[in-house]
Amino acid sequence: MKRKLKLVLASALAVATVSTVAFFALPASAEAASFTVTNSWNSGYQGEISVSNPASAKISTWKVELTLPAGSTVGQSWNATLAAAGQKFTFTPAGWNATIAGGASTSFGFIVNGTGRPTSCTVNGQACTGLTGTPTATTSTPTAAPTTTSASPKPTATTVAPTTTSASPKPTTASPTPTKTATGSTPLALNGQVKVCGTNLCNESGKKIQLRGVSSHGIHWFPSCYTGSALDALATDWNADLFRIAMYVQEGGYESDPTGLTTKVNSLVDQAEARGMYALIDFHILNPGDPSFNLTRAKEFFAKVAARNAGKKNVIYEIANEPNGVSWATIKNYAEQVIPVIRANDPDGVVVVGTRGWSSLGVSDGASSAEIVSNPVNASNIMYAFHFYAASHQDNYRAEVTKAAASLPLFVTEFGTVSASGDGAVDTAGTNTWIDLLDKLKISYANWNFADKSEGSSILKPGACSAGTFSGTSVLTESGQLIRSRIRTADDF
Nearest-Å Rg of the Cα atoms of the chain is: 22
Q: Are 137 and 112 in contact (CB under 8 A)?
A: no
CB 188 within 8 A of CB 42: no
Nearest to 414 by CA among 93, 147, 46, 111: 147
Contact status, residue 482 vs residue 428, Cβ threshold 8 Å: yes
Distance CA 40, CA 111 (A): 10
Q: Is the distance from CB of 244 to CB of 316 less than 8 angstroms?
A: no
Q: Tally Cβ neighbours within 10 Å of residue 401.
A: 23
Q: How far apart are CA 349 and CA 417, in angstroms?
A: 29
Q: If 0-12 CB within 10 Å is exposed, 13-18 middle and 19+ buried, where does residue 74 land?
A: buried
Find, among 326, 380, 381, the residue nearest to 355 by Cα. 326
Residue 242 · residue 213 · CB < 8 Å: yes
The answer to whether residues 415 and 393 touch, using CB atoms and an 8 Å cutoff, is: no
Residue 242 and residue 212 in contact, taking contact as beta carbons nearer than 8 Å = yes
d(CA 195, CA 202): 5
Cα dist. 154→151, 218, 225 in Å? 9, 20, 27
Cα gap 490→287, rounded to integer Å: 37
Cα separation, 343 vs 266, in Å, equals 18
The catalytic residues are 322, 414
Which residue type does 236 have?
T
What DSSP state is assigned to residue 42?
A: T
Specify burial of residue 47 (Cβ count, 10 A radius: 0-12, 13-18, 19+).
Answer: buried
**CA–CA distance, 122 with 124 (Å, rounded to integer):** 6
Strands 200-202 and 208-209: antiparallel
Closest alpha carbon to 327 in 375, 387, 393: 375
Angle at 289 between CA 77 and CA 370, to 5 degrees: 120
Give the whole-angstrom CA distance, residue 162 versus residue 147: 6
